[in-house]
C-alpha cells in the first residue's frame, strides 16, 4: 500500500470527496467519515471504507478510537462552516472535535495530522492585499467560525511531537465539481 492508511473526516464534503478520490488513486486505503450516507455510498463504490458519523457528538470518542488503528495520516476536514450560528455548535464541531481527534490520533500512533483551517481568520472591515501567513490576525475575529478555527489551529500546532507531525492549512477559494457554495 502506497503511503499507508488514511482517515479523512468530512469526506462527504466537496474537498473531502476530491481528497478521498486522490488518495484512492494513489493506492492508499481510506477510511472516510461524514454525515451524508448517499455521498458515503459513492465513496464506498470508489473503494473507501465509509463510516457515517457525526464526530462532534459526546459519544464520538469510542468511534474515533475504533477508526484509528493502523492509520498513518489523518486529514481532518470536517467542520461547521457558516458565517453565523450558535457559538456552542461551532465550539463543539470545530474545536472540541479537533481536540478529541488529535488526542485519539496521537494515542493510536498516527504519524501525521493535517487540519483544514480557513483564511477567514484574517477577515476585517478594511481592504487588504497581499495577505500571507505572516499577516497580522485581527484582535477581534469576524465570527464564531473564524474564532473556533483559529483556536483549533493553535491546538493542532502545539500537538506536534516527535513521530507525530501536525500542520494547519488555510485553503482559499476551493472550487471543484462538488462545490456547494460558489457554484450551484
Mind listing the pLDDT tens digit for each residue in 97-106? Answer: 999 999 999 9
Whether the pLDDT of residue 81 is over 50: the answer is yes
* Domain ranges across the chain: 5-169
Q: How far is CA 114 from the centre of its chain?
A: 7
Residue 30 φ/ψ, nearest 5 degrees:
-125, 130
Q: How far is CA 129 from the centre of its chain?
A: 27
In this model, does residue 139 exceed pLDDT 70?
A: yes
Exposed, middle or buried: residue 103 (CB in 10 Å: 0-12, 13-18, 19+)? Answer: middle
Contact 117, 152 (CB under 8 A): yes
The predicted model gives 6-30 an average pLDDT of 96
Retrieve residue 118's grid coordinates: 480557513
Whole-structure pTM value: 0.91
Contacts of 84 (CB under 8 A, 6+ apart): 143
Catalytic residue among 75, 90, 115, 145: 145
- 90/88 Cα distance (integer angstroms): 5
Whether residue 2 is predicted with pLDDT greater than 70 in this model: the reply is no
Contacts of 38 (CB under 8 A, 6+ apart): none
| CA proximity to 52, closest of 29, 24, 33, 80 | 33
In this structure, which topology does domain 5-169 adopt according to CATH?
Rossmann fold (3.40.50)
To the query of whether residue 122 is one of the catalytic residues in this protein, the response is: no
More confident call, 1 vs 95: 95
Amino acid at each position: 500500500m502506497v503511503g499507508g492508511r488514511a482517515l479523512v473526516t468530512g469526506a462527504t464534503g466537496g474537498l473531502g470527496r476530491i481528497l478521498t478520490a486522490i488518495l484512492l488513486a494513489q493506492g492508499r486505503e481510506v477510511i472516510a467519515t461524514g454525515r451524508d450516507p448517499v455521498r458515503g455510498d459513492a465513496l464506498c463504490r470508489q473503494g473507501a471504507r465509509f463510516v457515517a458519523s457525526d464526530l462532534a457528538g459526546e459519544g464520538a470518542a469510542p468511534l474515533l478510537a475504533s477508526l484509528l488503528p493502523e492509520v498513518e495520516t489523518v486529514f481532518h476536514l470536517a467542520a461547521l462552516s457558516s458565517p453565523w450560528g450558535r457559538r456552542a455548535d461551532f465550539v463543539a464541531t470545530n474545536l472540541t472535535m479537533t481536540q478529541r481527534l488529535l488526542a485519539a490520533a496521537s494515542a493510536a500512533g498516527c504519524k501525521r495530522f493535517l487540519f483544514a483551517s480557513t483564511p477567514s481568520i484574517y477577515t476585517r472591515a478594511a481592504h487588504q492585499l497581499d495577505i500571507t501567513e505572516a499577516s497580522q490576525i485581527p484582535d477581534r475575529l469576524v465570527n464564531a467560525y473564524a474564532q473556533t478555527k483559529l483556536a483549533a489551529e493553535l491546538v493542532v500546532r502545539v500537538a506536534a511531537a516527535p513521530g507525530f507531525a501536525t500542520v494547519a492549512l488555510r485553503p482559499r477559494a476551493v472550487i471543484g465539481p462538488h462545490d456547494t457554495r460558489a457554484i450551484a
